[in-house]
Amino acid sequence: MKSKSTILWFLLAAALAAAIWVLDTYFQPAAPGEKPLFAGLRPDQITDLQIIPAGAREISVIRTNRSWLLEKPILYPGQAAKIDGLIDALQKLTPVVSFSAGDMSARKDADAEFGFDNPQFTLDLVAADRTWHLRVGNPTATGDGVYVRVVGATGAYITDTAWLQFLPHDANDWRDSQLVDVPDALDWLVVTNGTQTIELRRDATNRLWRLVLPLSARANNLRIATALGELRTAKVSRFVSDDPKADLAAYGLEPAALDVWLGNGTNLLTAIHGSKEDSGKAGEIFARREGWNSVVTTPKESLAPWRGTVNDFRDTNLLSGPLAGIAEIEMRGLANFTLQYRSNAWVVAGEKFPLDANNVATLVKALAGLRIADFVQDAVTPFVLQTYGLTNPVQQITLRAAVNDTNRVIAQLLFGASNTNNQIYVKRGDEDFIYALSLAGLDRLTLPGDYYRTLPVWNFSETNVAQVTLRQNGKVRQLIRNGPDNWSLAEGSQGIIEGHTIEETIHQLGDLRAEAWVGRKFSDADVGLTTNSLAVTVELKSGEKYAVDFGKPVQVSKDDRTALAVVTLDGERWAFLFPRMILPFVAEYLTIPEETPARGLSPP
């Protein structure tokens, strides 16, 4: 039994020694600090790269004008990210196992064993003054390495397999998948869409696009930026044909349903041509880059923004550009006043009342937000102006960059007749076009100058109130304040009151803010004032009085209503919308019930 164990241990020791000898002899790990396989390789200096996959055609690319160009087996722009990715990987490629020339010659047929006589890939890299040649052989038995040989160098190596992912198996792997390379330096573009040609130019100063053909007009810069952005990200779905003699008409590309030409100065930089019909695959069309034979497919949405009429490329903003520099807004027509920015505040020319800056800002925002609903006329004659009510516009708005400076006009808008589509015709003073705008939301443009007054009406504390007098339907009721939450009816006034509810109502009335000003030009009938209307007069201990008269109700929304009211400020009567939050308190606690007898205090 003992002899058998001894023999077994002897055999195991012999096997271990043999394995160590094989590893030491044939599979020497790379020495610490082993140099990369391609010593001296600098990615930015590589100008040519050829790869021959086993059983496939040569794939060859060259660097020209800082871009990669696929030369073989077809001529087409190369995909820089993948090509550069391979070169970067080769620069860092370091062996994990090295075989010396002696190791190779000691093997019966090393080239066949390692796969160098029929390599998976053959690579040639060319720099200005140097070339490298690499053969990629078989994978190792464990599959986590691959045999490689640098032609001209002695021996061979095993490297990891991670870098193999960068190797192309056919030309399409390295073709640029971008539909078209859109340069940043564009200052003109031409769109041929069916029978029409649309040309746009970009201003060198403000960098805004403008239509020049078939008419000179402001362009929709947001649409153009969006269209260029989508074109930059558009991808090729399939490479269909590379035949230089292909029947382009069969693909709907001769003539193309859409052509987009992009240039700078006198130079055409690039162009893309698209078909109208689907390519046979739902949602895709045929396309072709200018100057290249290849026919490809791409999602039809890639070119969708370029299709349409010339009006689709026109600016739909009635006012273009920033309106921050406005110093004067002159209104003439249905509303007649001038807003002026003086001493860091807005005023109405010729008036002394303070203005609400937020209301003016809302007006400017409304002007900036005017959108063209329809392009009505592009050729204007006196007869055309008369036809659309623009000979004598109902409203004219002039924006200036300086107060009282007629030479600093930013824009002038003329509003004419309305049509049955709930639209109004508008013309800019500096253009010969007539537009149509929706009437919805235009009421603000005809509000009087009084509307822009600051909203506070008055302010007093209930602690300073001596009495409140109510007049309604020929009756009079007088409330006396005796102290905090302590109110009583004056002699001769009848009814029941609650001190704390009266106190709270007067507290809220003491900080009265108009919801909106109606203005000073009104009649009692306009605001619904009659001899029976509610009138509230608050008298302070100092003898100062605050009076408000309540007119007709106003429905401000489906479920919300308030009332018109009138006060006297600086000797003038002002009508306004009474605040909705306070009106219920007034209606509940500061009115005279109908059942109250008519006797009592007589109106003064």
Residue 318 domain flag? no
Q: Among 428, 452, 476, which residue terminates a domain?
A: 452
Are 277 and 389 contained in the same domain?
no
| Residue 604 scores a pLDDT above 60 | no
Residue 25 domain flag? no
Cβ-contact 131, 151 below 8 angstroms = no
Report the range of poorest mean pLDDT among 37-41, 201-205, 224-228, 307-311.
37-41
How big is the chain, counted in residues? 604
Q: Output 279 or 165, whichever has higher pLDDT.
A: 165
Extended beta strands in 54-208, E state:
59-64, 67-72, 76-77, 97-99, 121-126, 131-139, 146-150, 156-159, 188-193, 196-202
Are 43 and 167 contained in the same domain?
yes
Q: Say how far apart CA 567 and CA 550 lie, in whole Å.
A: 9
Residue 517 domain flag? yes
Q: Output 15 or 194, whichever has higher pLDDT.
A: 194
DSSP 531: T
The amino acid at residue 540 is: L
Report the range of poorest mean pLDDT among 58-72, 319-333, 566-580.
319-333
Are 146 and 45 contained in the same domain?
yes
pLDDT at position 18? 47
Cβ-contact 38, 26 below 8 angstroms = no
Residue 11 has a CB neighbour count (10 Å cut-off) of: 10
Residue 402 domain flag? yes
Q: What is the dihedral of CA 231, 236, 237, 238, to 10 degrees?
A: 150
Rounded to the nearest angstrom, the gap between the alpha carbon of residue 253 and the centroid of all alpha carbons in its chain is: 33
Are 305 and 358 contained in the same domain?
no
Work out how many domains the chain is built from and give that number: 4
Are 306 and 413 contained in the same domain?
no
CA-only gyration radius of the chain, Å: 43
Report the range of poorest mean pLDDT among 240-244, 279-283, 392-396.
279-283
Read off the pLDDT of each residue in 201-223 and give the average, rounded to a whole number.
95
pLDDT at position 602? 38
- For residue range 360-375, what is the model confidence (pLDDT) as tens digits? 999 999 999 999 999 9
Looking at the DSSP assignment, which residues form a beta bridge with residue 297? 238, 286
Residue 5's pLDDT band, with cuts at 50, 70 and 90, is low
Are 360 and 406 contained in the same domain?
yes
> Residue 262: which of 335, 336, 188 has the closest Cα?
188
Helix (H) or strand (E) holding 223, with range, is helix 221-233
Residue 409 domain flag? yes
When mean pLDDT is compared over 3-7, 486-490, 596-600, the highest value belongs to 486-490
Are 100 and 205 contained in the same domain?
no
Cβ-contact 330, 314 below 8 angstroms = no
Q: Among 425, 452, 479, which residue terminates a domain?
A: 452
pLDDT at position 4? 55
- For residue range 431-487, what is the model confidence (pLDDT) as tens digits? 999 999 999 989 889 999 999 999 999 999 999 999 999 999 999 999 999 999 999
Q: Taking all residues of the chain, what is their mean pLDDT, rounded to a whole number?
A: 91
| Residue 6 scores a pLDDT above 70 | no
pLDDT at position 25? 44
Residue 167 domain flag? yes
Are 73 and 166 contained in the same domain?
yes
pLDDT at position 597? 63
Q: Among 452, 475, 500, which residue terminates a domain?
A: 452
Contacts of 234 (CB under 8 A, 6+ apart): 178, 179, 180, 298, 299, 302, 303
Residue 489 domain flag? yes
Q: Which two tokens stand for residue 174?
A: 């390295």
Residue 354 domain flag? yes
Are 416 and 525 contained in the same domain?
no
Are 198 and 296 contained in the same domain?
yes
Residue 21's pLDDT band, with cuts at 50, 70 and 90, is very low
pLDDT at position 27? 46
Which residue's structure tokens are 């810069």? 221
Query: Which string of DSSP letters, residue by residue, matches 486-530?
Result: EEEEPTT--S---HHHHHHHHHHHTEEE-SEEEES---HHHHT--
Q: Say how far apart CA 386 and CA 398 lie, in whole Å.
A: 21
Order of strands across the sheet that contains 67-72 = 28-29, 97-99, 156-159, 146-150, 131-139, 121-126, 48-53, 59-64, 67-72, 76-77
Q: Please give the residue range of the domain that contains residue 394.
A: 328-452
- For residue range 52-99, what is the model confidence (pLDDT) as tens digits? 999 999 999 999 988 999 999 999 999 999 999 999 999 999 999 999
Is pTM, for the whole model, over 0.95?
no
Q: Which two tokens stand for residue 227?
A: 């269209």
Cα first-last separation, the chain: 139
Are 463 and 399 contained in the same domain?
no
pLDDT at position 600? 42
Are 433 and 464 contained in the same domain?
no
Q: Say how far apart CA 553 and CA 561 lie, in whole Å.
A: 7
- For residue range 390-444, what is the model confidence (pLDDT) as tens digits? 999 999 999 999 999 999 999 999 999 999 999 999 999 999 999 999 999 898 8
